[in-house]
Amino acid sequence: MDASPSIGIRDGAQPLAPHDTRRRIFAIVGASSGNLVEWFDFYIYSFCAIYFASSFFPKGNPTTQLLNTAGVFAAGFLMRPIGGWLFGRLADKRGRRTSMMVSVFMMCGGSLMIACLPTYNAVGTLAPALLLLARLIQGLSVGGEYGTSATYMSEVALRGRRGFFASFQYVTLIGGQLLAVLVLVILQQFLSEEELHAWGWRIPFVLGAMAALVARYLRRSLAETSTQESRARKESGSVAALLRNHRRAFLTVVAFTAGGSLIFYTFTTYMQKYLLNTAGMDAKRASLVMTCALFTFMILQPAFGALSDRIGRRTSMVWFGALSVLGTVPIMYALRTVSSPYAAFGLVMIALCIVSFYTSISGLIKSEMFPPEVRALGVGLSYALANAAFGGTAEYVALWMKSIGSEPMFYWYVTALCALALVVSWRMPDPATKGYLVNEP
């Protein structure tokens, strides 16, 4: 594979040396701050839905209200392919740094809009319509954030240790979820149920909007990892060139992202509702279980990333596929009747350890499959398509199957998509030894 030119801080600036560890770590930390804020803003919606669902969808039982909010959550994912294309093209043609600054600013606007929304009692059906609009804005932002940040972090990571360093994308992604749960747990300690339902759920969205402005400021000082040469190429940011020259890589990423995203959202964002709505736990206990589980999940990512540097990306993906196929149905059945929070934590952690084989290298393995001129576009668009179709609809499909009395069908649905990821992973070459990033600094 062709090697790309050395990484530079900005056009015309001193290039970033291959072994300049300190500056590369600083760049990863800087990118991670914005990534964390993006995902906090996006996930706080899911975790606060149990409190604001009745404000925007007042009719129906709790399952129906959660189903409606899950539908809006899924709609945000439908914007991800557009965001993946738009911000991926921007990153490949104008630079990774520019794309990441724009995406985090857009997330700020979406969060602030939700924080200020009127309820159904105030403006009627306009309330859920505005909620949908805000989620579409956030979906567009996150759709661009993933591909660009994955590309950026893979490009600044040290060769031979890319799995370890690139795993910090999911450290901050999970960290965003963790902060969302943690903020909710803190609010639950200081506010009553009535206050949380009335106005307390708005506080996290205000905090998210403020943090997004701070992250945008921090991203201004990031190193730029793309070069003038790659940005000037005719194929740069072109969907036609991507599908013409890298179709197999594109379809491979779509296939294993379908299973990876679905099982990730099943055991993270949906799991709180599953413990509440199916296992019968109270809201505070379910939130506490997921806070502890997400924290442990987060700190596991670098270890699994470092493991991939030793055993290879393909081997990690094969382990993910095989274990998820074998473990999903038994774990979901066990969680269905769990009563002890300790048992619930243990079962969720078994699942999240399996998922970690995928999440720790998720962005990196995709980046390794595309050359620099279409890397952000290839990563962002392929991820966004699969994520919108399968990850974003996880809650909706699960709740719908529960509403028709066929909840176990969802367990097999997750298993089937993970089986697809297993097959695709088994057939692909190892990007860690044959990918485009092998010869890059």
The pLDDT of residue 330 is 97
According to DSSP, residue 391 is labeled I
What pLDDT, on a 0 to 100 scale, did the predictor assign at position 18? 56
CB burial of 146-178 (b: ≥16 within 10 Å; e: otherwise) equals bbbbbbbbbbbbbeeebbbbbbbbbbbbbbbbb
In this model, does residue 12 exceed pLDDT 70?
no
pLDDT tens digits for 78-101? 788 899 999 999 999 989 988 988
Average of per-residue pLDDT across 169-185: 84
What structural domains does the chain harbor? 17-225+246-434 (1.20.1250.20)
Q: CA angle, 136 as apex, 131 and 140 as ends, to 5°?
A: 150
Looking at every residue in the chain, the average pLDDT score rounds to 85
- pLDDT (tens digit per residue) in 365-407: 999 889 999 999 999 999 889 988 898 788 889 989 988 888 9
Query: Binning pLDDT at 50, 70 and 90, where does residue 112 land?
Result: very high
Mean pLDDT of 270-276: 89
Decide if pLDDT at 13 tops 50.
no
- In 3D space, the residue among 96, 103, 106 whose CA is nearest the CA of residue 222 turns out to be 96
pLDDT value at residue 342: 94
pLDDT at 441 over 70: no
What does the pLDDT read at residue 432?
66
Taking the C-alpha atoms of residue 104 and residue 169, their distance in angstroms, rounded to an integer, is 15
- Residue pLDDT, tens place only, 50-72: 788 778 877 666 766 666 777 77
- Residue pLDDT, tens place only, 300-352: 999 999 999 999 999 999 999 999 999 999 999 999 989 899 999 999 999 99
C-alpha separations of 204 from 42, 89, 233 in Å:
11, 31, 43
Q: Which of 24-38, 215-229, 251-265 ranks highest by mean pLDDT?
A: 251-265
Return the pLDDT at 359: 94
